[in-house]
Structure 1
Amino acid sequence: MLAATETYAIEDFDDTPVSSDEALFPDLDPGYYDTLTGRWHKPTSPTEERVYKTVCHERILKYFTTGLSDLELEFHPNGDLWSFLVVEKPQLTTRVEWAVQIAEGLAQLHSNSIVWSDAHFRNVLVTQDLNIVLCDFAFSVFNPQIYHDFTTAPPPIFIAPWGYFGLPPTYVDIFGFGVMLFALLANRFPWTDDLLPNMDAQTEAMAKHGRREFDTLEAFPDLNAHFGEVVTKCFQATYLTGTELLHDLKCARDGWLQSQGPN
């Protein structure tokens, strides 16, 4: 199913511990599945509708039409990537390919002057043929200015640190992608032990990111040799667009696959 996503106002963070998946990802009225049409119906957002009409790409959730009060979208019963990773535990080669596919979607958004501004695993869906599409663009921004003030944020572990002033606003997407890339490679989030960190663990990781302390792939020498620089450049906001990121990531993937030898 198309899972609920959590988006925060910047001032919303507190120290309340959260441990369960239900508490970490509360229901925010993501919409409903129409059994007659086989489509997902989501409450209309003018911004989200505009994104879907602007970007038609295999890595972006398919949009059909807008009804009286909702958007009609393609339904993917495999659900969101966060849940899929935890439950299905896909192989590393699959996770690497998904990272590339997420970057492909991000590159499409940025090439259309769109900042996703809500880049996290709950907003990535797994298709029936086990590919990836990006979704949930209600908080996306078209052509933001350099000093755009983002008033919402993804879950804490994905939030870009303060202080990247003067950079194109795409840095919020690049950093969020870096967290996803790290998690896909290491099978855990930065500065945490697994893929289901509670709110305390997420806010602690966010605080380290704010101090410019970034986790590394050094515990995985082979992965670090190929992907370590890409992860670091995401965390340090060296990439300015998803296109730059995608180029380096594909090179890293190809080098890593070659190092693995024939299947």
Structure 2
Amino acid sequence: MPGDILPLQTAPHAFEDHAGEQPSIYQKGEFIALGSTSFVERLPNGDIIKTAWPGADRVTQRRRELATEAQIYDRLGEHACIVKKRAWDPDSHTLTLEYMPNGTLQAYLESCGDVAPSQRFRWIIQAAEGIQLLHRSSVIHCDIGPHNFLLDEDLNLKIADFAGSSLNHSATDTCPGVRYTPPHLDWTSWKDPGPEIDIFGLGSTIYYILTGKAPFSEFQSEEVERRFLAHEFPDLADIPCSEIIQRCWLQKFASADEVIELMKNIYAM
């Protein structure tokens, strides 16, 4: 999917899927990860640089997606919930961003499961506030999940990876996983994606933050989609924020503002 980042240990295998289009770019720093849109490297000064994959297959689309990501960072400006953009070079198709030392939210929870409830609730608020900013700026992320939230040195959560996002109602061909996407959507929904896509993903992200696993992690994708379509959700009986999670999945929130308001009212935050 656009912008999807492969872990470092699996990234080399991605080259096997692009036989004949090995990257003809000069190495800029330490290789970090590989996505379908770009290479991710860490520069000597510590920043992260994303370079559009230069192979012949989809090269124009990849460059366009990375350019859109740069536009979105400009639209959003500096904000506590957004990774900082350092620079965009349209000639080399490279986007430079601040480095986030604690990696993705998903990887952090996988390796550090013992996280205080107060920290988990703070992440939930920060995730909702980030989505609120996006939607107020006419941006739909389209791939909200724990893999696209990064953590800074103080464990503050920030949204990242806008390569497959929609700006000003633009179409997108991103294909997020079924656990983070409303099950009723068809391909026409991606011509003008709406906020409900991100809010559903927020519900699944909150579930992940509180449980350390994805919704229906024990099932294959087809079964997950069937259950979500039938409104058969994971058991939320002993999970905090269960009302918020379920309302996200049922599309009962009109905006991220409502999620934040309910969260703060319930937990007096």
Give the TM-score, by structure 1 length: 0.75
Distance 1:120 1:4 in 2: 11
Q: Distance in 2 between matches of 1:202 and 1:93?
A: 32
Partner of 2:212: 187
CA distance in structure 2 between the partners assigned to 1:30 and 1:228 by the alignment: 38
Of stretches 205-214 and 155-164 in structure 1, the one that deviates more from structure 2 is 155-164
Taking the aligned partners of 1:119 and 1:158, their CA distance within structure 2 comes to 7
Give 2:132's aligned amino acid: A
Report the 3-state secondary structure (helix = DSSP H, G, I; strand = E; otherwise coil) of the residue aligned with 2:198. helix
Shift of 1:239: 1.3
Q: For residue 253 of structure 1, what is the aligned residue in structure 2?
A: 267
Separation in 1, partners of 2:259, 2:224? 23
Unaligned runs of 5+ residues in structure 2 are 15-33, 53-65
Q: 1:150-201 CA deviation, whole Å, 9 max, x = no partner?
A: 53222232121115999971111000010011121233322236xxxxxx53
2:238 equivalent in structure 1? 219
1:1-263 matches, within 5 Å, as 5=5, 22=10, 27-28=34-35, 29-35=38-44, 37-43=45-51, 45-56=66-77, 57-67=79-89, 68-89=92-113, 90-144=115-169, 151-162=173-184, 169-192=194-217, 201-220=220-239, 223=240, 227-254=241-268
SS of aligned partner of 2:220: helix
Instruction: Note the aligned Cα RMSD (angstroms).
Output: 2.8
Q: Following TM superposition, by how much is the alpha carbon of 1:99 offset from its aligned partner in structure 2, in angstroms?
A: 1.0
Cα deviation for residue 118 of structure 1 reads 1.0
In 1, are the aligned partners of 2:47 and 2:98 still within 8 Å (CA)?
A: yes
Q: In percent, how many aligned pairs have the same letter?
A: 25
> In the aligned structure 1, how far is the partner of 2:165 from the partner of 2:127?
16
Q: Classify 1:234/1:53 alpha carbon distance in 2 versus 1 (closer, same or farther; 3 Å).
A: same
How many Å apart are 1:143 and its aligned residue? 2.9
SS of alignment partner, residue 263 of structure 2: helix
**TM-score normalised by the chain length of structure 2:** 0.74
Change (3 A) 1:4 1:141: closer
Give aligned pairs, total.
223
| C-alpha distance after superposition, 1:227-249 (max 9, x if no partner) | 22211110011112222222222
Q: Is the 8 A contact 1:186 1:217 kept in 2?
A: no
Higher relative contact order (CA 8 A, sep 6+): 1
Mapped to 2, the partners of 1:133 and 1:96 lie a distance apart of: 14
Q: Which amino acid in 1 is paired with 2:220? A: A
Q: Distance in 2 between matches of 1:75 and 1:201?
A: 34
Contact 2:164 2:173 in 1 (8 A): no
Could you list the structure 1 runs, at least 4 aligned residues long, displaced by more than 4 angstroms after superposition: 163-168
